Amino acid sequence: MPRDPTFTPFGAAQTVTGSCHLMSYRGYRLLLECGAYQGEAEAKNYTPFGFDPARVDAVVVTHAHLDHIGRLPRLVREGYRGPVYATPPTLKLLRPILEDALKVMNEEADRARRKRLPTPEPLWDEDDLAELYRRLSPLPYYRPRPFGPFTVELQNAGHLPGSAFVVVEVAGRRLVFSGDLGNRRKEVLPDPDYPPHANLVVSEGTYGDRPHKPLAATLDEFALLVAETLAQGGKVVIPSFALERTQEILYYLREFEEKGRIPVAPVFVDSPLASRVSAVFEEVREAFSLKVQTLFRQGRDPFRPRRLRYTVSVEESKTLNELEGPATIIAGSGMLTGGRILHHLRHQLPNPKNTLLFVGYQPRGGLGRRILEGARVVRILGHEVPVRARVASLGGFSGHAGQDELLDWLAGEPRILLVHGEPDKLAALKARLDARGQEAGIAALAQPYPF
């Protein structure tokens, strides 16, 4: 048995998704995150965890994005019998995210059966999800809790409502696990807390190679693109994550309308999941910035442009393809891996009056990345679709800290281990940390790191 506590990555090691990390000491096993792989890495969801779920004692998750929670039901299915801890807002948001993932998984299986294609064994089902729900337990910010030899405290990460980074004390030593760190200059969420001095900081590096565009410049570009597109009778099509990004886009569209920066036009959110998430947002008002909380107290919905409409049914979604006149259409998935956005792209990309506006990360090899790299024709739902619409990307909306913010957050920490990023992004961040005298490493899958 190792004499020192260890941190072992079993996911998100030189990848952006699949976050899953095991801490061990004196026979106690504490799992941080149990997320799904997404994009090109989805097949990894079917591979073994790399550890025995039945021997894990407790699980702590930092926030409700699928790449941090998406394999929790499978963990239960394979023998995990302990509790799952997170902040109260995360526990509320976790439910619609996992229920939507189950819906998508079942739809994909039905589609495969109809086409007489091989249908993989489901990773988990309704029973596993129900059992997971019975194990959920709140762990509010700033309330240290013992887990065997470990003491765990959650602090605000500014990435989602209720998102956290984890401070772990054990054997007189301290580890900080960043989870996903938010962009400090955003208006909707509070800024992330700074970490305490630690023996080891495990940090994400999603944007470790570059800073984000300043928010003010991003908003100016956003308002201009929307105004120009609507003025010429076109449609602004925005692929967006149902959790947080969609609501943030709605927040700024409302603000632009109130300030006269864009014309008032129909805004459609074509995502049943986004509708459910927006309802939860009203229940967790205290998790937002003071500005957003003030709007709520004044009886104003911060996330409602004047002509907002949520489309729920498939029939309502289809009618948007024949919609005349200017409009903004927000739909998932944000990474173009499926969902209703694909139908909108098939119909709207050929029209040069329209604008396809990316407001989130597009993984390598994905449809979004190919469009951003200048593809003139793309294949969508079995059709060759010409790309004649204007294509733009607004990096300043990222929910992740940029390189400059990561360096600021990690200032003064002697030893850093980088996870949750593509290899070149992590290498760039490591080089900057090395240059200022900090010991930085890039995590390898299933490699234990003592601290």
pLDDT band at 366 (very low <50, low <70, confident <90, very high): confident
Q: Is 259 found in the same domain as 202? A: no
pLDDT band at 2 (very low <50, low <70, confident <90, very high): low
Q: Is 259 found in the same domain as 173? A: no
**Coil vs helix vs strand at 317:** helix
Task: Give pLDDT, residue 104.
Answer: 87
The per-residue pLDDT of the chain, averaged, comes to 95
- Give CA–CA dist 366/287, Å, rounded: 33
173-177 and 355-358 strand pairing: unpaired
Angstrom distances, CA of residue 134 to CA of 131, 137, 164, 233, 243: 5, 9, 22, 50, 23
- Give CA–CA dist 143/141, Å, rounded: 6
Q: Is 403 found in the same domain as 381? A: no
Q: Is 156 found in the same domain as 194? A: yes
- Looking at the predicted structure, is the pLDDT value of residue 419 above 90? yes
Q: How much of the chain, in percent, has pLDDT values that exceed 90?
A: 88
Residues 264, 416: contact at Cβ < 8 Å?
Answer: no
Query: pLDDT tens-digit profile of 102-134?
Result: 998 998 899 889 989 888 889 999 999 999 999
Q: Where are the alpha helices (DSSP H) in 63-87?
A: 66-69, 72-77
- Give CA–CA dist 345/334, Å, rounded: 12
**Coil vs helix vs strand at 94:** helix
Task: Give pLDDT, residue 436.
Answer: 96
Q: Is 224 found in the same domain as 166? A: no
DSSP per-residue string spanning 104-148? HHHHHHHHHHHTT---PPPS--HHHHHHHHHTEEE--TT--EEET
Q: How big is the CA angle at 354 (ends 301 and 311), to the nearest 5 degrees?
A: 40
Q: Is 222 found in the same domain as 328? A: yes
The residues that bridge with 145 in the sheet, in sequence order, are 152
- Looking at the predicted structure, is the pLDDT value of residue 312 above 90? no
- Give CA–CA dist 282/303, Å, rounded: 10
Q: 6-24 burial, b for 16+ CB within 10 Å, e for fewer?
A: bbbbbbbbbbbbbbbbbbb
Q: Is 364 found in the same domain as 263? A: yes
Query: Which residues 6+ apart lie within 8 Å of 418 measured at CB?
Result: 202, 203, 204, 205, 208, 426, 429, 430, 440, 441, 442, 443
**Coil vs helix vs strand at 331:** strand
Report pTM.
0.93
* Total domain count, the chain: 2
Task: Give pLDDT, residue 259.
Answer: 98
- Give CA–CA dist 164/296, Å, rounded: 23
Residue 1 within a domain: no
The residues that bridge with 150 in the sheet, in sequence order, are 147
Q: Is 262 found in the same domain as 147? A: no
449-450 and 6-9 strand pairing: antiparallel
The CATH number of the domain where 333 resides is what?
A: 3.40.50.10890
- Give CA–CA dist 273/142, Å, rounded: 30
Query: Which residues 6+ apart lie within 8 Å of 125 measured at CB?
Result: 73, 77, 102
- Give CA–CA dist 312/132, Å, rounded: 27
Q: How much of the chain, in percent, has pLDDT values that exceed 70?
A: 100
List the one residue out of 392, 385, 340 whose CA is nearest residue 362.
392
Query: pLDDT tens-digit profile of 420-432?
Result: 999 999 999 999 9
Task: Give pLDDT, residue 361.
Answer: 77
Domain, as residue range, for 223: 215-397
Task: Enter the DSSP assignment of 211.
Answer: P
Task: Give pLDDT, residue 3.
Answer: 81
Q: Is 141 found in the same domain as 226? A: no
The CATH number of the domain where 25 resides is what?
A: 3.60.15.10
Q: Is 390 found in the same domain as 252? A: yes
Q: How big is the CA angle at 106 (ends 329 and 96), to the nearest 5 degrees?
A: 55
Task: Give pLDDT, residue 360.
Answer: 85
Q: Is 413 found in the same domain as 368? A: no
Query: pLDDT tens-digit profile of 152-195?
Result: 999 999 999 999 999 999 999 999 999 999 998 889 999 999 99
Q: Is 352 found in the same domain as 341? A: yes
Residue 351 within a domain: yes
Q: Give me the sign of the Cα torsion angle 202, 11, 366, 441.
A: positive
pLDDT band at 290 (very low <50, low <70, confident <90, very high): very high
